[in-house]
A and B are shown apart, each in its own frame.
Chain A
Amino acid sequence: MTDSAARTAGWFADVDPDEFDGLDDRDAGDARDARDGSTVVTAIREGQTETPQDWPTLAVDDEFADDEAAYYDRLHDATMAATRAAVTEREAADDRQLVHAVRAMDDCERTANELAERLVEWAGTVDPDAGTGVSFARELARGDHELESESEPITSLAERVVDLADEAADLREFVERQTPTIAPNLAALAGPVLAARLISLAGGLEDVAKKPSGTIQVLGAEDALFAHLRGHAPSPKHGLIYVHDAVRGTHPDERGSAARAVAGKLSIAARVDHYSGERKPELDAELAERIETIQARTAEDGDRGDSGGETDE
């Protein structure tokens, strides 16, 4: 690589040296300004090159800085501003975006199902062979199913249902992709969608992290919980986390234990995600081990004449 080619690969190549006046103030204050206004921040965050060079020497040769010390001073200002902008952006975006995405996903799914029911009822009046649900809407929209008497409004409604179902699927994909970057441990333990629902119901990742595990255990079972507190119902064993394989896959007699164990690990995972952000794979193993122990209890009993209650889907 020639010297000039090497220089253009450095972060300082296209940076306006004047920008460093006042970068310090901005980086202490509003990261948004630094992000929008500065080629420095963009250069650090978005630049790429395969091979590192002796940047300090090249920058001095290039008259970007008077000497090595001045170069390092600028590098410090630049990396501070760029990293602050990146951190602010990642942190501000994430869990709020996720809450909206998972709520929109649920709304789309629910609405698609409701409209599909309406569609089926309507289509049944003109065609006795009408199918059911969203899959029937798809057949209609694709033209795989011809109604006995053609009805334009019914076909049009079917198309809307399909669009909504597709939107819900896209949102689910988004949630599955985003949750692990925001809450890596919670997503790994609960699955991305359940993790996102817990964050949504609690109000944010920080709120999940600050809840006791007993609350996480019954999140989503508020009606049952308050009925219990009023004194005319047993306490709920599980809320949202019922859909977790470790809870649903456990014999009903032991589901309370399983739900307690899952909620405990999920609350630890949420705390790690919120306060450190580091992935801790040992949590997965600990939960798996605990659930195995719990499920082993009923497996033993089951051998002694359980009336076939183990048929879980």
Chain B
Amino acid sequence: MSDDLPAGVERHPFDGTDRLATRGDPVYGEPTDGDWRAWNPTRSKLGAMLELEMDTGLEGGDEETVLYLGAASGTTVSHVADFAGPTYAVEFAARPARDLLETAASRPRLFPLLADARKPATYAHVVESNVDAIVQDVATRGQARVALENRRFLADDGRLLLAIKARSEDVTRDPEDVFADVRAELEAEYEILETSRLEQYHADHLGVVARPRSQ
């Protein structure tokens, strides 16, 4: 276990408790202290993965490129854009994308895209190749396939940071079975480095850190 948070992410005191935080414009009414804004792990799966000290491989800094799939209204992706460099945010639904736009307005290296993460060909003309990390939090069936399809964007030494939502695959099955299936499917193109249940913050979610298999 490492406690190497990416540069730009710190444990910062808010009202006496240390919480994960990044520097940027507040987005969803989170507590702030000067430039610092608290990163709420119960509202963000990536936040939970960092809080649980998973080794995400994220370094932070202007050179780090990130593709974020399932950006929703921008809660998590705003923190990513705060600490990383160019960040591509893909979201499929129009309503949350409206909020995402507001988040992106004050973040010049956050690029919002209204597109379907299951169809990377519709945004491969915009998103650059060899990104350092893909963060995936899509609430649809076929989450493993989304990760496989988007492998094309990831650098060979890049990381896939995936939050699998069991209920999106099948609400009736035991989450453990769902996770096993998704992991088996991922193994085709990814080597899984670490997994951890996010139970403490998100019911029926599994956090996964993986890197692409060399082709």
Docked-complex contact B125 and A47, CB < 8 angstroms: yes
Given A76-B110, A80-B112, A86-B114, A52:B124 Cβ within 8 A: yes
Residues of A273-302 at the interface with B, using a CB-CB cut-off of 8 Å, are 273-282, 284-285
Docked-complex contact B98 and A278, CB < 8 angstroms: no
| Contact partners of A276 in chain B: CB under 8 A | 72-73, 93, 95-96
| Contact partners of A111 in chain B: CB under 8 A | none
Given A48-B125, A50-B121, A87-B97, A282:B171 Cβ within 8 A: yes
| Contact partners of B112 in chain A: CB under 8 A | 79-80, 83
| Contact partners of B121 in chain A: CB under 8 A | 48-50
Docked-complex contact A53 and B128, CB < 8 angstroms: yes
A10, B113: Cα distance in complex, Å? 15
- Which interface residue of A10, A72, A281 has the most chain B CB atoms within 10 A? A281
B127 within 8 A of A: yes
| Contact partners of B171 in chain A: CB under 8 A | 281-282, 284-285
Question: B129: which of A43, A54, A275 is its contact (CB, 8 Å)?
Answer: A54
A23 to chain B, nearest CB (A): 13
A254, B191: Cα distance in complex, Å? 53
Interface residues on A, range: 35 or more
| Contact partners of B126 in chain A: CB under 8 A | 11, 44, 47, 55, 75, 79
| Contact partners of B52 in chain A: CB under 8 A | none
B121 to chain A, nearest CB (A): 5
> Which residue of chain A is the closest to B150 with respect to CB atoms?
A52
Docked-complex contact B152 and A51, CB < 8 angstroms: yes
Docked-complex contact A80 and B101, CB < 8 angstroms: yes
Given A72-B108, A278-B93, A282-B167, A87:B98 Cβ within 8 A: yes
A54, B129: Cα distance in complex, Å? 5
Q: What number of A-B contacts does a CB cutoff of 8 Å give?
A: 113
The tally of residues in B whose CB lies under 8 Å from a CB in A reads 38
> Which residue of chain A is the closest to B127 with respect to CB atoms?
A52
| Contact partners of B195 in chain A: CB under 8 A | none
Residues of A250-290 at the interface with B, using a CB-CB cut-off of 8 Å, are 273-282, 284-285
Given A9-B125, A47-B125, A52-B127, A275:B108 Cβ within 8 A: no
B188 to chain A, nearest CB (A): 19
A84 to chain B, nearest CB (A): 6
Given A49-B125, A278-B139, A285:B172 Cβ within 8 A: yes
B104 within 8 A of A: yes
Kindly supply a per-residue 1/0 record for chain B positions 137-155, scoring 1 wherever the CB is within 8 Å of any chain A CB and 0 otherwise.
Answer: 0011000000000001100
A79, B110: Cα distance in complex, Å? 9
Docked-complex contact A52 and B94, CB < 8 angstroms: no
Docked-complex contact B140 and A279, CB < 8 angstroms: yes
A162, B153: Cα distance in complex, Å? 52
| Contact partners of B72 in chain A: CB under 8 A | 276, 278
| Contact partners of B97 in chain A: CB under 8 A | 83, 86-87
Given A51-B152, A276-B96, A279-B140, A79:B113 Cβ within 8 A: yes
Residues of A43-91 at the interface with B, using a CB-CB cut-off of 8 Å, are 43-45, 47-56, 72-73, 75-76, 79-80, 82-84, 86-87, 90-91
B105 within 8 A of A: yes
A10, B124: Cα distance in complex, Å? 8
Given A72-B108, A83-B113, A86-B114, A277:B125 Cβ within 8 A: no
A213 to chain B, nearest CB (A): 21
B196 within 8 A of A: no
**Partner-A contacts on B (CB < 8 A):** 72-73, 86, 93-98, 100-101, 104-105, 108-114, 120-122, 124-130, 139-140, 152-153, 167-168, 171-172
Can you list 8 pairs linking A and B with CB atoms under 8 Å apart?
A44-B126, A52-B124, A55-B126, A72-B109, A83-B113, A276-B96, A277-B93, A278-B139
User: Beyond A53-B128, A56-B86, A80-B101: 10 further Cβ-contacts under 8 Å?
Assistant: A48-B121, A48-B122, A56-B128, A72-B108, A83-B101, A83-B112, A87-B97, A87-B114, A275-B95, A277-B94
**Partner-B contacts on A (CB < 8 A):** 9-11, 43-45, 47-56, 72-73, 75-76, 79-80, 82-84, 86-87, 90-91, 94, 273-282, 284-285
